[in-house]
Structure 1
Amino acid sequence: GTPNVWTIASGDNDLGLVYLPMGNSAVDYWGGDRSEAENTYSTAIVALDVETGAVRWHYQTVHYDVWDYDLGGQGTLVDFPTADGTVPAIIMPSKQAQFYILDRATGALLVNVEERPAPQGGVEPERLSPTQPFVTDFPNLLKPDLTEASMWGVTPIDQLWCRIQFQQASYDGVYTPPTVDRPWIQFPGYNGGVDWGGIAVDPEKNIMITNYNNMPNYNQLVPREEVDAMGVLPITDPNYDPDAGGGSHGSISPQAQSPYGIRVNAGWRVPFTGMLCKEPPYGGIAAIDLATRKVLWDRPFGSARKNGPFGIPSMLPIDIGTPNNGGGVVTASGLFFIAAATDDILRAIDIETGEEVWQVELPAGGQATPMTYEAGGKQIVVINAGGHDFMETPIGDYFIAYALP
């Protein structure tokens, strides 16, 4: 199907442009019936003229996306320092933890991008792109490829189970092609890298700050006849059964009208403990100096207090680095306010040092980006604590405001 925009658009009033972060073309993990236009605009940032609707420029961050690496965060408009002076730019974060920075008037790249050879094979060897774009002169938050030594467990038994799973899977680093004859490891998984919430920038200090995920998925394509035999149907079907296709290794999505369904073990979790196979951290937060293009700091983000084996909260205030979803906001005082992690805490972080200077527990999950405003002579930070089913945080219906001293 046609790529959509499921995240937030941004716009430049002076240029008359709106910037659309595009999703990948449905279905997510197979692309044999995609049109030329779908292959052009899938997983791309597209600049549209708001008066005419015409495409002014576009830039694709993943070629022939069969990994659900669609653009989940909004593009952030900045004045970007270059050797030739400051350029009005857009920073587009990605689930691959790369940051594509472009002139927002022309779409010209302001960072160097190298088309590197990508893994080949899988079920579509004739259609996969031979290369994928990697930014070479601006930091990324893509972590080293997984190895068997990266497998982790709360006991030797589940660590051994994870190591066996690793050996049984296809894995050739980022962009490992989808397979049907055996599982494949997708790292980063479809939650990023950088996903919903995007990045934030302090325009005075020229510092970019972002949270990110550091988790794999354990996937396998499933032949259509097997999917149909299990009764797996699209959620819009009147006979849809939410339990069809479930199992200890992840649930199956139908990928209707394609040769394959897809089984995804999101986060690659051990069925008998619920813990993740990969060693922590599972999420991080980092700051990058836009002028020097250097990482100022990069550390785990989120404590283990609400997570533990068998779904039992550990209540340990250890910064293990948890899965996270939702962005943050920067204040003029140099503080970054963010919740997002699975520990249900709203934090204030010094953007220059990474030091946490304040926190408060929320009554529900804070998988949302805070906002800030002035009222009555005080600066207010407000967040929607609504929870998140996929992130397994408590559900609520709260808008909570805090006054800065």
Structure 2
Amino acid sequence: MTRSILNTGALAALLASTALPLAAQGTDPAPAPEQTAPAEAQPAPEVEAPPAAEAPPIEPSPPAAEAPVPEGVGPAQSDEVPDPEVMEEARAARPQPEVGADWPFWGGNAQADRYSPLDQINTDNVGQLERAFVYRTGDMPEGSAEGKYAGETTPLKIGHQLVMCSAKNILISIDAATGEELWRHDPGVSNDAIPYSASCRGVSAYTAPDLGEDAACKTRIIEGTIDARLIAVDLATGEPCADFGNDGQVDLWEGIGEKVPGWYAVTAPPAIVRGIVVTGAQVKDGQAEDAPSGVVRGYDAVTGEFAWAWDLANPGVHDEPPEGETYTRGTPNMWTTATADEELGYVYLPLGNSSVDYYGSNRSDLENQWATSLVALNVLTGEPVWSFQTVRHDVWDYDLGSQASLLDFPTGEGTTVPAILLPSKQGDIYILDRATGEPLTPVGEVDAPVEGSVEPEFVSPTQPTSEWHTLRKDDLTERDMWGFTPIDQLWCRIQFRRAHYEGFYTPPSADRPWIQYPGYNGGSDWGSVAIDTDRGIIVANYNDVPNYNQLIPRDRADEMGLKPINEQEAGSSEGGRAEGAGDPQAGSPYAINVNAGWRNTGTGVPCTAPPYGGIRAIDLNTGETLWDTPIGTARRNGPFGIPSYLPMKIGTPNNGGSVVTAGGIIFIGAATDNLVRAIDIQTGETLWQDVLPAGGQANPISYEVDGQQYLLIAATGHHFMETPIGDYIIAYKLPN
């Protein structure tokens, strides 16, 4: 999930007050057993999709759709998988809308490359951009929601409408040229449902081919909510779709177990493949091994009827659980955005870790097999086709947060291969064959330390890495310690010497703190990368900060009163605590304390030198870096949380991605300086910027109305990133 890098005050006080005695290093642990190879591709079932048809023009047509399941075809009523040939005939691949005048998918187009072919705004005139309109959603934190808002929303643009969800899942449509509100639907989400933050990154659109052109909900907007519902409304009116589930909604708590608000939530837009809505959920990390399941489920996009479930610890069974039972609890979940492959009929799932992130010896073999992996599912059956694992026995919370992108990868011989690009929090970028999962770029291995681990038999002695490209920097040294004064730097050097640190993949320890670098906000997160498919350039913004962590033995955790969410009082302030800062990990021998960003407890500034975040252009053909520059200025950052107001580029932590346009421009907010900026894709030079009224931790989009190109970004702020909270949707265009 999105985490705090520059949070001050309460977190620093908590970490200082709960620090354990810094004992001497213990004896050398026993070596860990040999692990499997870095990538294992499961053979695909013999199900071939028909070729995809040519996509129709985007204007004014809404997104294309798939046919509904005929009578007698639906979820399996036993352990048997549905007949693929019957399902294939019922749900043939259909044309997908293209990005251009519209922005029909969260990732721009069906390939999720966040590239716009519009070029009216270019490097010559981008400095003339001016605000076209500012719309306010009206969704601001009140009462117990204070300190828990991080909207992160990216609208869709379909026809004349911009359609979006607010932080607490209010669905809203506004005019794409003027910002005038057209309709809104408030599902009534309670503050109690907020997990770490109230976030809704986006919605999805689906057009039902068998409904008449004037039928209600011909084109429908579907969102997942933080109180675990799927909601469908009419694109034209905002009215709930009566044919979908129960009066327009599906209850995702079915089969999950005891309803504990905030423990199980949906924050990402669902994927829709062959008429099946696919969704996972965020399971609040670090609470207990007996947590809600990470099950991924499919539902009919017209009726809302259950189609299948992938319960990764219950292979071959795709039904709903029998009455009184649940899907397997505590399994890895998919909290981020999946990618749909309409042609193959696959959905690509970036999976996270098991519910206890920093201790793994209690995990099952199936959890170890699937955790922190990209998994391709056959959307007709819910069966896994292949998987690619980026971390073996993950005890660092390196879950896959980025949406993967589809592309045609050049072979170097004048041909291309249908591929999928996968970024990771460690900074590695992998390119895989999207049909088989086999790597198309070199994958190597690094030795990983096991010394100092509390579970040396579990930690893997080797880990996979990308030899094609990584955003990761060199290991830290004591010389990298930093501070505003010599005293600050000295304190950070003392902490460095006291900590356990053996470089990349240093395992968790309890006798003393350990340094995790990159931290769990390192590399690429939910904002994902953008790909200029014409120029062959990948644009990746990234974080470059460590974490300073320590496991807490269970008896000490009990003395500290660390309790999982299901044992906390309703409205407890613990719910808004930064992730990992005193997480109980009930059921395991240890709780966890994470100092995200390794903040100096005095000044609140990281113990490592800036830059703390950057943006990089990468040659898609070779994997070589074209340029790399810090992103974010010091204007809102300084010691003790006091803004310096200095415009110098220092590179701040950032959350949210970019959009790249045919005009040669990268548009991005993301950094903690409240600026949206335009960057020249060829040079990395900032050509234009504007001050936002709140944090720009959201992915921007570009679209066209009546021949004019627009840039749009949500300035809704981010409590974990310590940027001001707002409800602003801001559009820009060139002067008429």
Give the TM-score normalised by structure 2.
Answer: 0.53
Paired residue for 1:29?
358
Equivalent position to 1:133, from 445, 457, 464: 464
Q: CA shift at 1:393, angstroms? A: 0.4
Paired residue for 2:335?
6
Please state if 1:206 is matched with 2:545.
no
Q: How does 1:234-383 map to 2 (within 5 A)?
A: 234-239=564-569, 241-242=572-573, 251-383=581-713
Q: CA shift at 1:243, angstroms? A: 6.0
Q: CA shift at 1:145, angstroms? A: 0.5
Equivalent position to 1:172, from 490, 493, 502: 502
Q: Deviations over 1:345-391 (max 9, x none)?
A: 11111111111111111111111101121112111121111111110
Q: Deviations over 1:210-268 (max 9, x none)?
A: 10000000000000111111111123433375369x99xx9311112111010111100
Larger deviation, residues 232-241 vs 111-120: 232-241
Equivalent position to 2:391, from 62, 67, 70: 62
Paired residue for 1:49?
378
Q: CA shift at 1:29, angstroms? A: 0.3
Paired residue for 1:76?
405
Q: Percent identity?
A: 62
- Cα distance in 2, alignment partners of residues 187 and 68 from structure 1: 12
- Cα distance in 2, alignment partners of residues 229 and 273 from structure 1: 28
- Cα distance in 2, alignment partners of residues 99 and 139 from structure 1: 6
Equivalent position to 1:103, from 433, 436, 441: 433
- Cα distance in 2, alignment partners of residues 236 and 372 from structure 1: 42
- Cα distance in 2, alignment partners of residues 373 and 41 from structure 1: 38
Q: Deviations over 1:8-55 (max 9, x none)?
A: 111111111111000011201001111111101100000111111111
Aligned with 1:164: secondary structure? Answer: helix
Distance 1:13 1:277, change over 3 A: same
Unpaired stretches in structure 2, ≥5 consecutive residues: 1-329
Larger deviation, residues 228-237 vs 87-96: 228-237
Q: CA shift at 1:404, angstroms? A: 4.4
Instruction: Report if aligned partners of 1:9, 1:21 keep a CA contact under 8 Å in 2.
Output: yes
- Cα distance in 1, alignment partners of residues 734 and 506 from structure 2: 47
Instruction: Report if aligned partners of 1:94, 1:193 keep a CA contact under 8 Å in 2.
Output: yes
Aligned with 2:565: secondary structure? Answer: coil
Q: Number of residues paired by the alignment? A: 401
Paired residue for 2:475?
145
- Cα distance in 1, alignment partners of residues 503 and 455 from structure 2: 17
From the two aligned structures, give the one with the greater strand fraction: 1
Q: CA shift at 1:143, angstroms? A: 0.5
Asked which structure has the greater CA Rg, the reply is 2
Question: Which amino acid is the alignment partner of residue 476 of structure 2?
Answer: L
Equivalent position to 2:722, from 384, 392, 395: 392
Q: Deviations over 1:166-204 (max 9, x none)?
A: 000011111100000000000000001111211000000
Paired residue for 1:123?
454
Paired residue for 1:94?
424
Unpaired stretches in structure 1, ≥5 consecutive residues: none
Aligned with 1:252: secondary structure? Answer: strand
- Cα distance in 1, alignment partners of residues 684 and 476 from structure 2: 26
The one of the two structures with greater contact order (alpha-carbon pairs below 8 A, sep at least 6) is 2
- Cα distance in 1, alignment partners of residues 332 and 437 from structure 2: 20
Q: CA shift at 1:95, angstroms? A: 0.6
Q: CA shift at 1:301, angstroms? A: 0.9
Aligned with 1:47: secondary structure? Answer: strand
Question: Which amino acid is the alignment partner of residue 197 of structure 1?
Answer: G
Question: Which amino acid is the alignment partner of residue 297 of structure 1?
Answer: W
- Cα distance in 1, alignment partners of residues 503 and 733 from structure 2: 45
Aligned with 1:204: secondary structure? Answer: coil
Question: Which amino acid is the alignment partner of residue 626 of structure 2?
Answer: L
- Cα distance in 2, alignment partners of residues 126 and 397 from structure 1: 49
- Cα distance in 2, alignment partners of residues 396 and 15 from structure 1: 40
Q: CA shift at 1:292, angstroms? A: 2.7
Paired residue for 1:193?
523
Aligned with 1:195: secondary structure? Answer: coil
Q: CA shift at 1:139, angstroms? A: 2.2
- Cα distance in 2, alignment partners of residues 206 and 152 from structure 1: 37
Aligned with 1:2: secondary structure? Answer: coil
Please state if 1:40 is matched with 2:369.
yes
Question: Which amino acid is the alignment partner of residue 123 of structure 1?
Answer: V
- Cα distance in 2, alignment partners of residues 206 and 59 from structure 1: 24
Distance 1:62 1:139, change over 3 A: same
Q: CA shift at 1:340, angstroms? A: 0.3
Aligned with 1:326: secondary structure? Answer: coil
RMSD, aligned CA = 1.5
Distance 1:52 1:227, change over 3 A: same
Instruction: Report if aligned partners of 1:233, 1:239 keep a CA contact under 8 Å in 2.
Output: no
Instruction: Report if aligned partners of 1:349, 1:358 keep a CA contact under 8 Å in 2.
Output: yes
Instruction: Report if aligned partners of 1:381, 1:404 keep a CA contact under 8 Å in 2.
Output: no
Distance 1:318 1:91, change over 3 A: same
Give the TM-score normalised by structure 1.
Answer: 0.96
Q: CA shift at 1:116, angstroms? A: 2.1
